[in-house]
Amino acid sequence: MKIVATGDSFITRRLPKNDPNAIELKKWMESADVRFTNLETTAHKGEGFPSAFSGGTWAMSNPKVLDDLKHYGFNLYNWANNHTLDYLYGGLFATEEELEKRHLIHAGAGRTLSSAAEPRYLETLNGRVALIGATSTFHKSWIAGETNRYIQGRPGVNPLRYEEIYYITKSQWETLKEISHDTHIDANEELNVKEGFSTVENSDTFLFAGKKFKIATETYQKRSPLPEDINRITRSIREANRQADFVIVSLHSHEMNGIDKNEPADFFEEAAKSCIDSGASCVLGHGPHVIRGIEIYKNKPIFYSLGNFIFQNDTVTHLPQEFFTKYDLDELANIADGLDKRSDNGTKGLGVNPLVWESIVAKIHWKDQKVEKIELKPTDLGFKQPRYNKGWPKISENDAVLQRLKKLSSRFGTEIKIENNVGFIYMAIK
């Protein structure tokens, strides 16, 4: 079994016919039985209403971009991420219809929580593969809901929420108490607790500005996966492990360690390991638009972020009025005006971060259901190109991204060898 894993496919343009870079990548990937990507856009013709909250850019693409992803050879798709409901339920339903029309296997979002959380299966000559998708980055109104005997479920994403607690010293605690008392910053929450509408009440926990604080001898933050969510995800893994030869878990997460975008959040590391403990064959992370390290845990790979495969958020064709209002533009402003204003005329944002525009594609080789080796192919997405040309991947001749990945992975004890501009992780099969 060979599995190709890529990160975010934020695709908003059609792939040029006979593109040599796409042909070269497709040729390298097509030897794999499984080819995975994260669909980082909605694919429809404006059927949905724009959400009041977007994942950063209201992502809507011509449904035919799915044909281009299919042309690359992708046969497994996660679509639980911070753009899934950019166009609310109409956009979700239309995207699901377009995926189904093309017989594309997708996971992580659906019309109910059960549908969003269930494993989806791919049949290959070398084994049956299950995909389970979830996201930790979303607006809380996007969480899928479960059906009960009284009322239908709610469409949305399979969530991976986390509990966040800030540990502070006693003197800091007293300062926050004083500020809270004088400003009534959490007056609504205090009233909700008294009236029984909130269950957040604990003698050793103090709520300030919506955040939980506890007294400790030093100051630090601790985040842990919400038991309700990690239990649901691991139940799906255990089910899939009895129904398939390989179980792939896709986790979308923008959260980071402190302010370091290159490092995964603590709760993500914990969740990924829980997935492996429950029977996952590998965990594929994506979301921050940069690569993160690779950990080999119990002889199974955790990719904390595969970066971008395709990244074209600056060539969306339509955006709602909220986008223009946010940047103080009137109703006569066009897309180019909005993108100029957001990027301060190309001087800030993701477009000027070179790390966003270099990535890797991974090919995992399995033998007798054990990882034999992992190939890591560097890609270049055109950092120096105009924004309307950026975003298509090509195999890179530069090993800088591999060197960076090697350094990021060393924290997890993972050794990457670079040979002829390809990274390799060799596993001892036991």
Question: Which pLDDT band, with edges at 50, 70 and 90, does 213 fall under?
Answer: very high
Other CB atoms within a 10 A radius of the CB of residue 28 amount to 16
pLDDT value at 372 more than 90 = yes
Nearest residue to 109 via CA among 130, 131, 132, 80: 80
Mean pLDDT across the stretch 232-248? 98
HSE (side-chain half, CA atoms, 13 Å) at 340: 7
Question: Which pLDDT band, with edges at 50, 70 and 90, does 187 fall under?
Answer: confident
pLDDT value at 430 more than 60 = no
The region of weakest confidence among 49-53, 138-142, 200-204, 288-292 is 200-204
The H or E element containing residue 203 is none
Dist. CA 349–CA 235, nearest whole Å? 39
**Contact by Cβ (8 Å): 370, 394:** no
Question: And the tokens for 252?
Answer: 């979308």
**Contact by Cβ (8 Å): 87, 63:** no
What radius of gyration do the chain's Cα atoms show?
22
Mean pLDDT across the stretch 34-39? 98
Dist. CA 167–CA 115, nearest whole Å? 37
Provide DSSP, 165-193: EEEE-HHHHHHHHHHHHHH-TTHHHHHHH
Written as one letter, the residue type at 178 is E
Q: What confidence score (pLDDT) does residue 428 get?
A: 74
Q: What confidence score (pLDDT) does residue 202 get?
A: 58
Q: What confidence score (pLDDT) does residue 181 get?
A: 87
Q: What confidence score (pLDDT) does residue 201 get?
A: 55
Q: What confidence score (pLDDT) does residue 234 get?
A: 98
Dist. CA 163–CA 278, nearest whole Å? 21
Dist. CA 287–CA 414, nearest whole Å? 21
Question: Which pLDDT band, with edges at 50, 70 and 90, does 40 fall under?
Answer: very high
Other CB atoms within a 10 A radius of the CB of residue 168 amount to 20
Question: Which pLDDT band, with edges at 50, 70 and 90, does 200 fall under?
Answer: low
State what percent of residues in the chain have pLDDT above 70. Answer: 98
Dist. CA 75–CA 35, nearest whole Å? 6
91: left (phi over 0), alpha (psi -120 to 50) or beta: alpha
Dist. CA 373–CA 301, nearest whole Å? 10
pLDDT value at 248 more than 90 = yes
DSSP state of 313: G
State what percent of residues in the chain have pLDDT above 90. Answer: 90
pLDDT value at 199 more than 70 = no
Dist. CA 67–CA 9, nearest whole Å? 13
Mean pLDDT across the stretch 17-35? 97
Other CB atoms within a 10 A radius of the CB of residue 30 amount to 11
Q: What confidence score (pLDDT) does residue 127 get?
A: 96
Q: What confidence score (pLDDT) does residue 155 get?
A: 98
Q: Which residues pair with 366 in a beta bridge?
A: 371
Question: And the tokens for 362?
Answer: 């991974």
Question: Which pLDDT band, with edges at 50, 70 and 90, does 203 fall under?
Answer: low
Digit-coded pLDDT (tens) for 88-119: 999 999 999 999 999 999 999 999 999 999 99
Mean pLDDT across the stretch 391-396? 98
SS3 state at 361: strand
Question: And the tokens for 35?
Answer: 């080819």
Q: Which residues pair with 286 in a beta bridge?
A: 252
Between CA 100 and CA 108, with CA 104 as vertex, the angle to 5 degrees is 85
Between CA 238 and CA 244, with CA 242 as vertex, the angle to 5 degrees is 110
Q: For the chain, what percentages of helix, strand and coil (3-state, to nearest 5) are there?
A: 30, 30, 40
Q: What sections of 61-216 are H helices per DSSP?
A: 65-72, 88-101, 113-117, 170-183, 187-195
Mean pLDDT across the stretch 363-371? 95
Question: Which pLDDT band, with edges at 50, 70 and 90, does 205 fall under?
Answer: confident
Mean pLDDT across the stretch 138-163? 97
Angle between helices 227-241 and 266-277 (to 10 degrees): 30
**Contact by Cβ (8 Å): 133, 80:** yes
Q: What confidence score (pLDDT) does residue 429 get?
A: 59
Dist. CA 271–CA 233, nearest whole Å? 9
Residue ranges of domains in the chain, CATH in brackets: 2-147+226-318+349-426 (3.60.21.10), 170-215 (no CATH)
Question: Global pTM?
Answer: 0.94
182-196, 207-221, 310-324: range with highest mean pLDDT: 310-324
Nearest residue to 173 via CA among 214, 226, 130, 129: 214
Q: What confidence score (pLDDT) does residue 289 get?
A: 97
**Contact by Cβ (8 Å): 130, 248:** yes
Mean pLDDT across the stretch 335-341? 96
Average per-residue pLDDT for the chain: 95
SS3 state at 241: helix
